[in-house]
Amino acid sequence: MTFIVAIQLNDSIIVTTDNKKIVLKESGEIQFNTKKSQKIYSWDKGIITGTGESYVISRSIELFKTLAHSDINKLPQCLDISRQIREFEVGTDYFQIENTKLLCSSYSEYGAQLYTIQRFEPHNRMKSP
């Protein structure tokens, strides 16, 4: 679980996260990682962080920077593609993967702005009869 505090006041933004990581192993065992984990990533016009599955978050940011060329309008697509890739790797119906959300700051000539990127409805899946 990630704890994020984000505050926006006029042209200033403060964002902070915890730095702990919990891994759910394939056996179902929960492993607490003692190493500090990076959860805030920088990009040209601000920062990105998120809650949910760390692989989905980091891959979303990688896709955003490399393939989407840091076009903030494409960040939701990057999150969706990353989520689909992760579901292909480990299977579907994992709450952490399905509910991964991103928080992004962007600074432009109009000032600083915070954005959230998330899925509002559960993904529709075809079920076998």
Mean pLDDT per block of 10 residues along the chain (129 residues) reads 84 86 69 80 93 92 96 95 92 87 89 86 47
Residue 7 lies in a domain: no
SS3 45: coil
What's the number of domains the chain is made of? 1
Residue 2 lies in a domain: no
Residue 60 lies in a domain: yes
Residue 83 lies in a domain: yes
Residue 33 lies in a domain: no
| Full-model pTM | 0.81
How far apart are the C-alpha atoms of 10 and 43, rounded to whole Å?
A: 21
Q: What is the pLDDT of residues 54-84, one digit of tens each?
A: 899 999 999 999 999 999 999 999 999 999 9
63 lies in which domain range?
38-117
Q: What is the pLDDT of residue 90?
A: 86
